[in-house]
Structure 1
């Protein structure tokens, strides 16, 4: 009777939490569907180089790029060193100014040891003067020479070579006249002050057609002391800040959280990566970023090696860009100024209710592991702590609940549906669907606890990704290694562990453990977005094929490992401890299905399709695996090894001895 009450109560709380999570998920999908306008940008330097290579006016090149789908031109702020190398000015000591007779009387105003920039063009001089006089208050600018013009710097050039020089006015105006938008990438500078940051805001306000502001360096100017001043200066511009994927910048998340316009997720290919790409692969990468990761600003790098017998660099790049634009529109996206994520206000009690569902699942899991009293005590304490954290608005509490959801429900799924008895292929398929459904309860609760646009824009993220991949495996191993039936006491578990630790180890088992440890390390290292170095070239080709064939590629851990092995395990049954490795590998698929939804910047509909594709494809591979198992079992007819059943379970064999 007591057990029925416990199960009914936890089930009721979980069902209510799932309903709340589904409501929040539906709201999120509505926001994502309206967040569908993508900006396609090209680098100014590349477009200008292409115009020079083709011998055509820059304005004509801009017109053709616009026709191909380009909406924006991306300007990187040149550094002093780049200006020197590019011949915009020369660097010399004050004592060397006698080499420039045109400077005339100005020579007497400069001390012999000063660092001087001799600038040839008046527009370049004005461009540099506008920002440098605020970033470097000790600098002196002399323009009454009639040219060349002079900038006298208070420190050696080597200390300033990375300082930005502003943006060229004429190209900015040409871009605006062509009907295109502008994104500027600002360099940081040493010794930023509230005054120099405010001057930056004033400077950017005068750039025509400004669409977004990006930053060039690993740390934002003025961070951390003047991040509020930087936010205030940018807020008045009314444009978002570009958050460039795979290029973490210190202070960017802090800045984005302070801006009403927030950030726009941005994607480009690093220049050093370009040799690895051809036109098709590059287009695939840009389209994937927009469709699957909420990227709304694509900064596309151009190709400058025309194909044999081709039509020229400009025509080939126009076709490349047009292809990207066409594919984006086919995916339901439109071209224009990057969409900005609208605000999302929902009742906070829904978030609290979702968290209670996670706690109820934890109580149920501990009960299944044989620790009912401990589960009730911890569940009560967790509910009180969650109430306090929810009232205080602590983001850490929501992340902790998300970790709980990603841990509890895949574990519950595996220990609930993997049984000693085998079953038919058809029943195995039904059991796979039911197990995945229970695991996805954790996905719904994870999405519900981390609801909010700050997660969708990557201003905040799910914490503990590797823990969420590891903890369910540890719990599943604990359960199946010692087969804890309901009601087993902690003392019994302690005795079993001590007995196991006192057993001698054979070399073959030590080797097997080393192999498993290596596999586990690779498994953990491959989690997240920074595991590209561990992906084999063949796997990259398979991924590309699946992207083309299925539109949304399923995860390898699900369709190739987890789901097929779980289906086989349902068919054979968990007969004895020799199947422990099989059950751990099978659990990977359930964990991965839940963690797919931890990519909170990926549209929910994409995640749902990804999991569905992984499930049906994994089921097909699993049926083939079952057929191969039956064939091998029939042909080999191996001698049965002595059973190694842990205490508490009775092995139930199929008819025919299988």
Structure 2
């Protein structure tokens, strides 16, 4: 039997790295725990529209939404179209005035005199103001967007008139700056203001400053959530935007992408976030086409899970446009908001202005120890595949560690940290399963499996083994969580790369380790590690039967589902039954475990113990061990979601182990009972009875 030695010095380095990881993870836990205030936001215009639909005074409805839990109102830039609808200004094309004159319906002496003076042109747009402040704001923004030469004052006084040389259908939809009357109304009603400005074409310093001058009219501006494909000031005036952010201590709101990876693309967004020292908050909004399909309870549950699991601190809530049975439209939306408020408060969140992360960055020296430990783990695994001299193990560890550490010690090294995280996600699950394989090998070599073993012992030993193996893998998760711990990863400005690899690589590594220890098609242990290649060539030369093709097809389908369900891109759809199971587990557990862990991996681990103790064929043992590896790899990969609080990731992994171990124990009992029944039907005793 091949002997594989566990280098004690490398193990010491792994333990030291784990201690450094725990230190960083503890710091991270406190940083995340302090970030617990959620801002609940609705659009100002949505509530006004609801009031109009239901015939309720807007002020009264705003008060009801405030009581229900809305803390902030989003104010967008106004347009001539909006101002026309609410009667604050009148905008019309010159052709309308000319048509009235030609049909004899233009009776107003004011307009007739303008016509007589030749000041009305068919191709121009005319804006008449009722409120001087609003009119002045419209005028100033039109001049910035069109240029002074295209905007002319035709009349002053009580009825000011503005002429703009522009296409009417286009200009009425242009954004014309944040309306100060709405900003002040929001503040006077006791809400925070979430400003939603857009960038200007060929933006100038005056354009940027005009936005913040409008915001200066109110005190309770919590954040800015930019609209469009660029942030204000992009590309050349971002420093001016940053300066205004810092001066007013504003938060930058970053809207999560619908695929839940980084953000809706806006040029200049991450540059502004970095320049304001990452005083930014992650925003989530239920997709517009998805919300109508969700019942209120489902939408409320979505918000609870989102805020808990993805560090979302700004809930941008769209209104429901269809009333629930037995409720008015207003009652439906108030129930939606108040229900969300209740579940968040029950989960320990507070409501108000969204909290932000401090600019946390782990100590480079602690990171150095983590990287050194991760490197030692990788080299240790290599030595367990193909043993080589200890001095070469030390030399390889030192070489790889130095290459990774130099950029990190200098204060950078993001790519090196991501590379280390990827190594942790692949090596630690494989190392955990390899260590467990060697425990079983030593027990087999000692003859412990030569006598019948009862199902009670199988379950008892299996539960002990699954706990030890899971804790070993959990150490890898804590390594991964530590090496990527800083505010950029919390906000997902930077993120873990290689999700697909982490699902496949541990299985490949464990397969190699298994082939280095066992003959896959014989119930004997491999003599040397060099027999790996012989077994691979044996597999390639294996005759192809119909059953082989069916088995290969089933394996390919399972792999497609397994890999396709990973990552953030659209892949294999999730069955409705599984969605319901997820929702149920989210309600009864603090952190919903992953299905591939408690439904596949951990039960496979218990069955693998049964297969090994009962000396089932090696191929069967191997397939079950591959299944067990899925859970270990998934557990470590859970920590790759750095936006998820580390405490939740830890509990999720432990929940999966407990639930999966219970299901695995039941599976072992069921297999045992099936064996007993089959044996009795065949007229013989089962191979091993208690």
TM normalised by structure 2 equals 0.84
**2:453 aligns to what?**
none
In the TM superposition, residue 634 of structure 1 has moved relative to its aligned partner by: 2.5
Between stretches 519-528 and 630-639, larger displacement belongs to 630-639
Q: Aligned partners of 2:598 and 2:117: how far apart in 1? A: 77
Distance 1:140 1:390, change over 3 A: same
Closer, same or farther: CA 477–79 of 1 in aligned 2, 3 Å: farther
Bigger mean CA offset, 472-481 vs 77-86: 77-86
Tell me, yes or no, if structure 1 residue 129 matches structure 2 residue 139. yes
- 2:400 is matched with which residue? 382
State which structure, 1 or 2, has the greater radius of gyration over its C-alpha atoms: 2
Q: After the TM superposition, which of the residue ranges 129-138 and 107-116 deviates more from structure 2?
A: 107-116
Q: Cα–Cα, structure 1 residues 459 and 369, in superposed 2: closer, same or farther, change >3 Å?
A: same
The answer to whether the aligner puts 1:182 opposite 2:193 as a matched pair is yes
Structure 1 residue 281 and structure 2 residue 290: aligned?
no
What is the CA deviation profile of residues 160-179 of structure 1, one whole-angstrom value per residue up to 9, with x for unaligned ones? Answer: 67642223333322221111
Which SS does the other structure have where 1:265 is aligned? strand
Q: CA deviation at 1:49?
A: 1.6
Q: 1:465: how far off? A: 1.7
Counterparts of residues 386-425 of structure 1 (less than 5 Å):
386-392=404-410, 393-418=412-437, 419=440, 424-425=458-459
Find the counterpart in structure 2 of residue 543 from structure 1.
582
The question of whether the paired residues in 2 share the 8 Å contact of 1:283 and 1:320 is answered with: yes
Could you tell me whether the CA contact under 8 Å between 1:368 and 1:486 is conserved in 2? no
Partner residue of 2:272 out of 245, 252, 255: 255
CA 1:108/1:513 → structure 2, altered by over 3 Å: closer, same or farther?
A: farther
Counterpart Cα distance in 1 of 2:401 and 2:6? 16
Pairing 1:164-175 to 2, within 5 Å after superposition: 164-175=175-186
Instruction: Return the alpha-carbon distance in structure 2 between the equivalents of residues 137 and 270 of structure 1.
Output: 37
Report if aligned partners of 1:77, 1:186 keep a CA contact under 8 Å in 2.
Answer: yes
Are 2:71 and 1:71 equivalent residues in the alignment? yes
What is the SS of the residue equivalent to 2:289? Answer: helix
Deviations 1:291-319, CA, capped at 9 Å, x for gaps: 22221111222334334443x43344333
1:553, 1:610 within 8 Å by CA — same for their partners in 2?
Answer: yes
The 3-state SS of whatever aligns with 1:142 is strand
Q: Which SS does the other structure have where 1:184 is aligned?
A: strand
Contact 2:253 2:283 in 1 (8 A): yes
Q: What is the Cα-based RMSD across aligned positions, in Å? A: 3.4
- Partner SS, residue 242 of structure 1: strand
Please state how far the C-alpha of 1:443 moved relative to its aligned partner: 0.8
Is residue 611–residue 621 contact of structure 2 (8 Å, CA) maintained in 1?
A: no
Give the number of equivalent residue pairs: 640
Counterpart CA distance in 2 for 1:22 and 1:428 is: 28
Cα distance in 1 between the residues matched to 2:224 and 2:116: 39
Deviations 1:510-556 (A, max 9, x none): 33323322322332232234558722211111111111122321111
* Cα separation, 2, equivalents of 1:408 and 1:370: 15
In structure 2, do the counterparts of structure 1 residues 116 and 517 end up closer, same or farther at CA, with 3 Å as the change threshold? farther
Conserved in 2, the CA contact under 8 Å of 1:69 and 1:322?
yes
Equivalent-residue separation in structure 2 for 1:599 and 1:410 (angstroms): 17
**Preserved CA contact (<8 Å) 1:37 1:336:** yes
* Residue 398 (structure 1) shift: 0.9
Alignment CA distance shift 1:572-1:547 (3 Å): same
Tell me the equivalent position of 1:116: 125
CA drift at 1:612: 1.7
The CA deviation string for residues 378-428 of structure 1, in whole angstroms up to 9 with x for no partner, is 433211102212123221111111111111100111222144657611010
Could you tell me how far apart the structure 2 residues matched to 1:107 and 1:507 are? 93
Gaps in structure 1 of 5+ consecutive residues: 641-653
Q: What is the aligned counterpart of 1:528 among 555, 558, 567? A: 567
Structure 2 stretches lacking a partner, 5+ long? 101-105, 259-263, 450-456, 519-524
Change (3 A) 1:127 1:568: farther
Aligned residue in 2 for 1:469: 503
| Alignment of structure 1 residues 120-519 onto 2, 5 Å | 121-122=130-131, 124-137=134-147, 139-142=150-153, 144=155, 147=159, 149-153=161-165, 156=167, 163-247=174-258, 248-251=264-267, 252-260=269-277, 262-310=279-327, 312-344=328-360, 346-372=362-388, 378-392=396-410, 393-418=412-437, 419=440, 424-481=458-515, 483=517, 488=528, 493-519=532-558
CA contact (8 A) 1:238 1:261 kept: no
* Aligned 8 A contact 2:564 2:571 in 1: no
Q: Structure 1 residues 435, 106: closer, same or farther in 2, change over 3 A?
A: farther
TM-score by length of 1: 0.88
CA distance in 2, matches of 1:41, 1:105: 46
Q: Secondary structure at the match of 1:211?
A: strand
1:196–1:515 CA distance, 2 compared to 1 (3 A): farther
